[in-house]
Structure 1
């Protein structure tokens, strides 16, 4: 159980760290494109064109709304999760649950859009290639908040 606990804790910390960097640099470009230097905008365009990412090219309204949600809610929550886990705060179970549920809900909307706009094989490959890490993080964050052994491994009592 200790290996599983360590793996879950590592995934939550690693993904929170990725979100702390990724959201303000790339995701927020859907909301506030005029704030970014040309280098970051070009890098985002390169990704969009290289991987033919429909959501970042077309930027449908729900995707911009999800970007705002990530910028205003999930990004500060990821910072809080990193601090709470590394400092072994007692409230970290609550914040990881909030981040996991928020990310899982957003992925439900994205998966619906992908399944609606691509053929079955293309949608499956796209989901496996790009969006499964978000779903895995969501489940691991929710699991982190409910398993007492994981919390004890990090030194945080329930």
Structure 2
């Protein structure tokens, strides 16, 4: 995905021929006119994805695998960013009438993933509230 997405931001003359062919084949096979035509709103979403979402997703993957407490926050951030982008893309695909079923089947799972990431960020994990409460500082008794 980053190889296909990055082509929206760099001049075509800088893209190696095999990578450009990968993008062309994807656009032809799935009928993805957004990747083929590169409208400006799509380029902006790709920029946000490459600059913000990909690094955040890598940090989130580390946080989840390492069991870091901040992983729920990064999941929420990644989910909201992805859901926002997918809302704009799906609105275009559904509103234009140009999207094939195959293309929608390609994009809809990303929206489902975004909603799952948002839920993971919002809902407390089992046992987490008890663990957090056990580490809370105890109140000092007032001495007279």
TM category (shorter chain) comes to 0.7 to 0.9
Query: What corresponds to 2:77 in structure 1?
Result: 98
> How far 1:131 moved relative to its partner?
1.2
Q: Counterpart of 1:57 in 2: which secondary structure?
A: helix
Residue among 96, 114, 118 paired with 2:93: 114
Query: What corresponds to 1:28 in structure 2?
Result: 6
Task: Provide the C-alpha distance between the structure 2 equivalents of 1:131 and 1:151, rounded to a whole number of angstroms.
Answer: 34
- Asked if 1:83 is matched to 2:62, the reply is yes
Query: In angstroms, what is the RMSD of aligned CA positions?
Result: 2.3
> Which of 74-83 and 45-54 deviates more?
45-54
CA gap of 1:151–1:139, structure 2 versus 1, over 3 A, is: farther
Structure 1 regions of 5+ residues with no counterpart? 1-21
Query: What corresponds to 1:39 in structure 2?
Result: 18
Rg bigger for which structure?
2
Query: What corresponds to 2:111 in structure 1?
Result: 135
Stretches (4+) displaced over 6 A: none
Query: What is the number of equivalent residue pairs in this alignment?
Result: 130
Task: Provide the C-alpha distance between the structure 2 equivalents of 1:157 and 1:37, rounded to a whole number of angstroms.
Answer: 51
Structure 2 regions of 5+ residues with no counterpart? 134-144
Does the 8 Å contact 1:148/1:157 carry over to 2?
Answer: no
> Which is bigger in relative contact order (C-alpha 8 A, separation at least 6)?
1
> How far 1:38 moved relative to its partner?
1.3
Does the 8 Å contact 1:97/1:141 carry over to 2?
Answer: yes
TM-score between the two structures when normalised by the length of structure 1 = 0.73
